[in-house]
Amino acid sequence: MTDHIEQEAISGIPLLGDKVPEMEVQTTHGRMKIPTDLKGKWFVLFSHPGDFTPVCTTEFIAFEKMKKEFDKLNCALVGLSIDQVHSHMKWTEWIKEKMKVEITFPIIADNGVVASKLGMIHPGKGTNTVRAVFVVDPNGAMRLMLYYPQEIGRNMDEILRAVKALQISDKNKVALPANWPNNDLFGDEVIIPPPSDEKTAATRKTGGGVVCEDWWFCHKKL
């Protein structure tokens, strides 16, 4: 019974705020310790079902073309699948030769340990890793998770937007509205967290460039 519970914990999907477990992995850039080697940086860890597959190829090219935008946010990109490192290397060579795009971020050659610990293998979708995305902060904490089925390619603009939004939220202690920075009501304004006591609520509508629709619904430009 205990073994069964422990196995469920190992293979379960992590929770927001959880620390990424320490793992030493083989990548196309050599051995890495995750998250230790990326301490002090944000990083996006994303899995793909397999090398030499069309949708995954389009995703890796899209990530690479946006890498400079992630770099500006001090955010590294790290890919992963359960293919061997030699397969990764031949695949990226093919992408460079045929598609004229050089993949410059590391790709983890997982033996199943990382995929199991982070819930990247979903039995209903076969034995390959699904399209999981984990955004991890400089302290190694899981801040955002997305899971896509194998059939649907990811939107890299949304992943980049999410990293920007998390950084702005952390720095300014604010929340971000739907479709930020292009919200239908307030554009790129941010949401002020609701007051936690009556005194703050009573004075909420005064000063500081804050606009309130009601005491609990206030927004402002940064």
Which residues are catalytically annotated? 56
Cβ contact 54:151 at 8 Å:
no
Go through the chain and tell me how many residues it has.
Answer: 222
| Matching residue, tokens 């690479």 | 64
The C-alpha atoms of residue 19 and residue 100 are separated, in whole angstroms, by 37
Angle at 39 between CA 37 and CA 43, to 5 degrees: 90
Amino acid at 170: D
Q: Within the chain, what is the greatest distance between any pair of CA atoms?
A: 65
The C-alpha atoms of residue 210 and residue 220 are separated, in whole angstroms, by 5
Count of Cβ atoms closer than 10 Å to residue 222 Cβ: 10
Cβ contact 14:119 at 8 Å:
yes
The C-alpha atoms of residue 180 and residue 22 are separated, in whole angstroms, by 33
Give whole-number Cα distances, 199 to 65, 129, 202, 210, 220, in Å.
49, 51, 5, 17, 20
